[in-house]
Structure 1
Amino acid sequence: MPEGHTLYRLARDLQQTFAGRPVHVTSPQGRFAAGAALLDGRVLREAFSYGKHLFADFGGDALHVHLGLYGTFTGGSGDPPPAKGALRMRWVADGPDGGGAWADLRGPTVCEVLAAPEVAAILARLGPDPLRPRADGGVAHRRIAGSRTAIGALLMDQSVLAGVGNVYRAELLFRHGISPFRPGRGVDAASWRAMWADLVTLMRAGVRMGRIVTTRPEHRSRRRGVVQREDAHYVYRRTGLPCRICGTEIHTEVMVGRNLYWCPVCQAA
């Protein structure tokens, strides 16, 4: 599932390409026909993300998209390609340079038109997003510190923390030497402040690079140049491989429906 940095980049690209101009909205597949008819021809005021949610404000009505596990939002310049397959929604506009621009949405979990109060209700039930300006990590810690639930599960709870998915969960806990099985109330305020600051840095880097890289240069096969895929993470999808720090075999098991990865030595319970 795309994590928060991916949605942030997507919203930024839609904002730069379509904001301030009328957008022709259609649903070639037909499943979003009523919503497309409401938005068609209206001016996009703003596109923004919060956590794993994407919003597009068309003035009074807003498009809400959650990509889920299989959703994709792609686009380009010029004329759009022939509409094939399960194309839920298509945007077409003049584009910022006067040429054509298009964006296609396929396979989302959610694609709907909401009124402003409904958007506010979604935002109200989400935890702080590390990529949002002035986000307060202390709000997340207050929820974590009062819970007996494992921190590995709490980090995936979007009402606690918005935008963090399986990769950031595993890598953040490793970087701070915290067992994913530690109860939330066992994560003290100082530890959380360090984790929050690190998470903000990692997710901002993810926005810049368009990918998640969590390893430090000294723990990669090459210290300079493009980070190779096999060098990008400490524990994520490295089951059975030696820990980059201590050499212990990386473990995995399912937690809250997703594969969890950790080092049993560097992250001792």
Structure 2
Amino acid sequence: MPEGHTLYRLAREQSTLFAGRPVHVTSPQGRFEAGAALLDGRVLDEVFSYGKHLFARFGSDHLHVHLGLYGTYLTGTGAPPPAKGALRMRWEADGPDGLGVWTDLRGPTACEVLPDPEVAAILDRLGPDPLRPRADGGRAHRRIAASRTAIGALLMDQSVLAGVGNVYRAEILFRHRVSPFRPGRAVDEALWAQMWADLVTLMKAGVRMGRIVTTRPEDRTRRSGAVRREDAHYVYRRTSLPCRICGTEVRTEVMVGRNLYWCPTCQAV
């Protein structure tokens, strides 16, 4: 599932290409036909993300998209390709450089038109997003500190913290040597402040690079040049490989429906 930095980049890209101009909206698949008809031809005001949610504002109506596990956008210039398969929604517009631009959405969990109050209701039930200006990380800690639930599960709860997914969960816990099985109430305020600041830094870097890189240069097999895929993470998808710090085999098990990765030595309970 795309994590918060991916949605932030999508919002920025779509705003650059489509905001301030009329957008031709269609639903070749037919499942979004009524919503497409409501938005078609209207001027797009802005696109913004919050956590794993994407919102496109057309006046008093918002297009709300949640990609889920399988949703994808594909964007291009010039004439769009023939509409094939399960194409939920297509945008077309005159681009900022005079060329046509288009974007196709396939396989989202949610694609719906909502009025302002329903958008506000979605935002109200989400935790703070590390990528949002002036986000209050302390709000997340108040939920964490009051819970006996494992911190590895709490980090995946979007009502606690918005935008963090499986990669950032595994990596932020490793970077701060926190067992994913530690109860939330055992994560003190000072430790959480460090984790929050680190999340802000890592997710902003993810926006810049378009990928998640969490390793420090000194912990990579190649310390200069572009970060290779196998060097990008400490524990995520490194099951049975040696920990970069202590050499212990990285372990995995399912927690809240997703594979959890951790080092049992560096992240001892």
Q: Same fold (TM over 0.5)?
A: yes
C-alpha distance in structure 2 between counterparts of 1:26 and 1:98, whole Å: 21
SS for the counterpart of 1:37 is helix
TM-score of the pair, normalised by structure 1: 1.00
Q: What does residue 106 of structure 1 align with?
A: 106
Other-structure match for 1:166: 166
Partner of 1:254: 254
Aligned partner of 1:53 in structure 2 is 53
For residue 121 of structure 1, give the secondary structure of its aligned residue in structure 2: helix
Query: In the alignment, residue 211 of structure 1 is paired with which amino acid?
Result: R
Give the superposition deviation at 1:99.
1.2
**2:6 match:** 6
Distance in 2 (CA, whole Å) between partners of 1:117 and 1:225 is: 48
- Once the two structures are aligned, what percentage of the paired residues are identical? 83
Partner of 2:195: 195
CA distance in 1, matches of 2:193, 2:126: 19
User: Secondary structure of 1:242's partner?
Assistant: coil
RMSD over equivalenced CA pairs, Å: 0.4
Kindly provide the amino acid, as one letter, of the partner of residue 172 in structure 1.
Answer: I
Cα distance in structure 2, aligned partners of 1:34 and 1:214: 42
User: Aligned pair 1:44/2:44, yes or no?
Assistant: yes
Specify the SS of the correspondent of 1:5. Answer: helix
Gaps of 5+ in 2: none
For residue 12 of structure 1, report the CA deviation from its aligned partner: 0.3
Matches within 5 A, 1:69-148: 69-148=69-148
Residue 120 of structure 1: how far off its partner (Å): 0.3
Count the aligned residue pairs.
269
Letter in 1 for 2:193: R
TM-score by length of 2: 1.00
State the alpha-carbon separation in 1 of the partners of residues 224 and 126 from structure 2: 38
Give the Å deviation of 1:26: 0.1
Structure 2 equivalent of residue 223 of structure 1: 223
How big is the shift at 1:115? 0.3
- Show structure 1 runs of 5+ residues with no match: none
SS in 1 for 2:117: helix
